[in-house]
Amino acid sequence: MVLYGFAVDSCEKCGVTANVDKTMIFKLFHTFLYTIFFQVVLVLVCAPHPARCSQPSTSSPQSLESDISQLDESREMLIIEGESYIIPPPWRGNRFIAPEYDYSDFRLIPVEYTHNGTKIYILSTAHQPLVALLEAAEKDGIFLKVESAYRSEGYQTRIFRRMLAEGRTFDDIVRYVAPPGYSQHILGTAVDFFPSNWRFAGTPAYTWLQENGRRFGFAETYSRFNLMKIPWESWHWNFIGRDDVDQDGSTMTSGDGKK
């Protein structure tokens, strides 16, 4: 006889019928059905994308780590004291990459032009234009004081550590302070004039810088309507240099006398 596709024979000579455990037959039959089912699924999955099943994965632990690193970079995460923080707008996408500097690359800003006579350094290429700007402003009766200039990424990190230790949240801090790596001060060419807050916009010093800053190669990075959409910082000016500006801040002229 045939039961569920399996033959059951009997031994007539011996007069004994082979008893087959029906439970075992059912188990074998179900196993057979499952095997067919999985084969069908495998065909359906692999048919549209044969490379998935025919070729082994070429990913290595190194490439996987690289992918993870790229993912973290795309999210722009910052780690401080073992805690991870996601960089929010408007800083996201505005990270600065600072060159490797040596101590000899910087020069001390004359203390008579710094707030409270603090020792503040700026990149050598921006030093003379800055001094020329400060001297010109003084001649016009404007007494500019530099409150900050070069700040390393490590220094910026220490600022965040201190504020976090004081109980402030990361989201609150980044509303007013650039995260490490996102401050233009790491380039060594940016300066903050005193007072480095919203009051500076209402001072004669700010008006003078708007009218004369570019003459010395300095520009207001975070102007009121800057493209980076970073909050307005009227006190923050960066040396960008100009082909038609001499190192002493005077305007260069071409051979035909035109400016």
Within a domain: residue 246?
no
pLDDT of 166 strictly over 90: yes
**What distance in Å separates the CA atoms of residue 120 and residue 110, rounded to the nearest whole number?**
8
Tell me the two tokens of residue 181.
Answer: 């790596």
112, 229: one domain? yes
Residues 6 or more apart in contact with residue 257 via CB below 8 angstroms: none
- Please state, rounded to an integer, the average pLDDT across all residues of the chain: 78
- At residue 61, the pLDDT reads 32
Within a domain: residue 89?
no
CATH value at residue 204: 3.30.1380.10
Q: Are 197 and 234 in contact (CB under 8 A)?
A: no
- At residue 66, the pLDDT reads 34
Q: Which domain holds residue 49?
A: 2-54
DSSP annotation of 201: G
50, 108: one domain? no
121, 208: one domain? yes
Give the length of the chain.
Answer: 259
Within a domain: residue 185?
yes
Tell me the two tokens of residue 130.
Answer: 């800055």
108, 229: one domain? yes
pLDDT of 72 strictly over 50: no
Long-range CB contacts (within 8 A, 24+) of 74-81:
78/179, 78/180, 78/181, 80/157, 80/160, 80/161, 80/164, 80/180, 81/161, 81/164
Sign of the dihedral through C-alpha 45, 50, 56, 59: negative
227, 112: one domain? yes
Cα distances (Å, whole numbers) of residue 134 to 110, 139, 172, 223, 252: 10, 9, 34, 20, 19
Query: Pairing mode, if any, of strands 10-11 and 236-239?
Result: unpaired
Within a domain: residue 179?
yes
Tell me what the mean pLDDT of segment 150-164 comes to.
96
Q: Are 182 and 96 in contact (CB under 8 A)?
A: yes
133, 223: one domain? yes
pLDDT digits (tens, 9 = 90+) for 5-22: 434 344 344 444 444 455
> What is the domain count for the chain?
2
113, 29: one domain? no
Q: Which of 67-76, 92-101, 140-149, 232-241 has the lowest average pLDDT?
A: 67-76
Within a domain: residue 140?
yes
112, 38: one domain? no
pLDDT of 241 strictly over 60: yes
Within a domain: residue 69?
no
pLDDT digits (tens, 9 = 90+) for 53-62: 433 333 333 3
DSSP annotation of 5: T
120, 207: one domain? yes
pLDDT of 192 strictly over 50: yes
More confident: 221 or 23: 221
50, 121: one domain? no
pLDDT of 253 strictly over 80: no
Within a domain: residue 248?
no
- At residue 75, the pLDDT reads 73
Angle at 200 between CA 199 and CA 205, to 5 degrees: 145
117, 216: one domain? yes
Within a domain: residue 86?
no
pLDDT digits (tens, 9 = 90+) for 145-154: 999 999 999 9
pTM for this model (two decimals): 0.66
Tell me what the mean pLDDT of segment 63-80 comes to.
54
**What distance in Å separates the CA atoms of residue 251 and residue 259, rounded to the nearest whole number?**
7
Q: Are 145 and 115 in contact (CB under 8 A)?
A: yes
